[in-house]
Amino acid sequence: MVGQLLGANLLDKAKEYGRQYWKVAFGCELVNVGLICIVGPLVYIFYVLEPQAKAYLVQMLVFSALYMFAFAYNSIITCGVFPAGGDSRYDAISVALATWCFAVPLSFLGCFVFQWPVIIVYSVMCLVNDIPANCVAVGNPCKVVREIGEKDRMYYYKDWEITAEDMEEERRLR
């Protein structure tokens, strides 16, 4: 949808849609943080954990809750707006370099050479996610739910349709 607006040179409307996507993602992340805060402590009920494992679990849940905001921004901009504007190479190259030239080697070295604490290695591994372009992904770790289809390109939100008249009106205003 943003790609169609950018292709039609409707930059103001594309920026507005990008802002709306960010607001939706930010709201979803607030809900995710709330769920982590509520459900996270319940994990203790289902598992018998050593005190050190409990400490790691709490640290990882806190990190995940904070990390989700940065991940939401990255998902909207790098995995959404850039490819929609025609720059899908940037996302592919940045993910490949960040994963295979940074996160994996640094995590390996952190574990086996430097013997970093578990939370540091976990944090380094969370810095990179390999999510393909043009898909909807949720969760932490992020999982692809579905590819973005034609319906997603026709509707802005739920049943708010982007019509040809809207596109034409924006062209005339420019």
Taking only the tens place, the pLDDT of each residue in 43-82 is 777 878 788 888 888 888 888 887 777 777 777 777 776 7
pLDDT higher than threshold 80 for residue 166: no
pLDDT of residue 136: 65
Cis preceding-peptide flag for 141 (omega within 30 of 0): yes
**Cα–Cα nearest to 125, from 159, 153, 160, 98:** 98
**Range of the structural domain that residue 31 is part of:** 2-173
How many of the other CB atoms lie within 10 Å of CB of 62? Answer: 15
Give me the number of domains the chain comprises. 1
Amino acid at 138: V
Which pTM does this prediction carry?
0.53
